[in-house]
């Protein structure tokens, strides 16, 4: 089976004068029944690997296997979550915490007090024309919450998710199985955040290499990819 780029995505990128290929790997639909994502990665990715490769895995796939992705109708938003979500700025990236359900997940993840403090100073920041204060103060747990989007592959177009737990530990577990470095990434068409690494990797370099989100974010069903330097 040949590794091919996703539609509308480039296979090759040049970063710091070096050329890298980014190969997306199609897998089965990952579900909560896949309790150990390292086994899925081993089955679908290991056969393609070469020395020097780096594997990057979508954080949403990890969250699904950890039981941290939920049908939106099953999330019971509190009155506070409903209130605070009204004041979240919607962006082209997605709804973020702008729905009661995603705000509820953020509250569960980082605590109500932290969300209220972040909301207070975020509101002051808006008045002063300073963006991003809320997410800086709310932290990684809040930033990693994903909302339901129409373009995601079913059934996850109707799911909301928390970020993966112990992302570094998960990356190390996968790396032990497939014998190459691994990163867990939160990526979309507007940016990349490195959540977990197995060991000894330059996070900034990896983010640059996959800055255009080569895995895609619709129905590609490619939650994992391979980075390979082209000599």
pLDDT in tens, 46-94: 999 999 999 999 999 999 999 999 999 999 999 999 999 988 876 655 6
Residue 74: what pLDDT?
96
Q: Is residue 105 predicted with pLDDT exceeding 90?
A: yes
Q: Is residue 191 predicted with pLDDT exceeding 80?
A: no
Structure tokens at 25: 């790997």
Residue 121: what pLDDT?
94
By C-alpha distance, which of 2, 31, 50 is closest to 155?
31
Question: Across residues 181-189, what is the average pLDDT?
Answer: 88
Can you list the alpha helix ranges (DSSP code H) found in 129-212? 133-138, 140-143, 167-178, 203-209
> CA distances (Å), 156 to each of 31, 150, 151, in order?
10, 9, 9
- Nearby residues of 225 by Cβ (< 8 Å), 6 or more positions away: 22, 23, 24, 25, 55, 56, 210, 214, 215
Other C-beta atoms closer than 10 Å to the C-beta of 76 total 9
Q: By mean pLDDT, which of 73-82, 92-101, 179-188 is the weakest?
A: 92-101
Q: Is residue 1 predicted with pLDDT exceeding 60?
A: no
- pTM attached to this predicted model: 0.90
- Nearby residues of 67 by Cβ (< 8 Å), 6 or more positions away: 32
The mean predicted confidence, pLDDT, of the chain is 91
Q: Is residue 189 predicted with pLDDT exceeding 70?
A: no
Residue 5: what pLDDT?
85
- 69 touches 63 (CB < 8 A): yes
Domains and CATH numbers, the chain: 12-68+163-230 (3.30.1330.100), 70-161 (no CATH)
The percentage of residues in the chain with a pLDDT greater than 70, rounded to a whole number, is 96
């Amino acid at each position: 089976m040949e590794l091919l780029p996703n539609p509308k995505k480039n296979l090759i990128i040049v970063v710091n004068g070096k050329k890298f290929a980014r190969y997306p790997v199609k897998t089965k639909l990952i579900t909560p029944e896949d309790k150990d994502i390292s086994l899925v990665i081993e089955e679908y990715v290991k056969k393609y690997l070469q020395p020097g490769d780096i594997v990057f895995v979508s954080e949403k796939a990890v969250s699904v296997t950890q039981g941290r992705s939920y049908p939106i109708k099953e999330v019971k938003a509190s009155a506070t979550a409903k209130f605070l979500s009204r004041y979240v700025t919607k962006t082209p990236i997605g709804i973020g915490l702008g729905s009661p359900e995603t705000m509820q997940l953020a509250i569960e993840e980082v605590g109500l007090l932290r969300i209220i403090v972040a909301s207070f100073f975020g509101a002051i920041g808006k008045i002063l024309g300073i963006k991003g204060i809320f997410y800086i103060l709310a932290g990684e747990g809040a930033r990693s919450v994903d909302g339901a989007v129409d373009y995601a592959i079913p059934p996850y177009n109707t799911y909301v998710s928390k970020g993966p737990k112990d992302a570094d530990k998960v990356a190390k577990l996968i790396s032990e199985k497939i014998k190459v470095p691994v990163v867990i990434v939160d990526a979309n068409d507007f940016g990349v955040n490195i959540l977990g690494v197995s060991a000894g990797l330059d996070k900034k370099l990896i983010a640059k290499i996959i800055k255009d989100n080569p895995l895609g974010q619709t129905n590609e069903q490619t939650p994992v990819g391979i980075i390979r330097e082209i000599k």
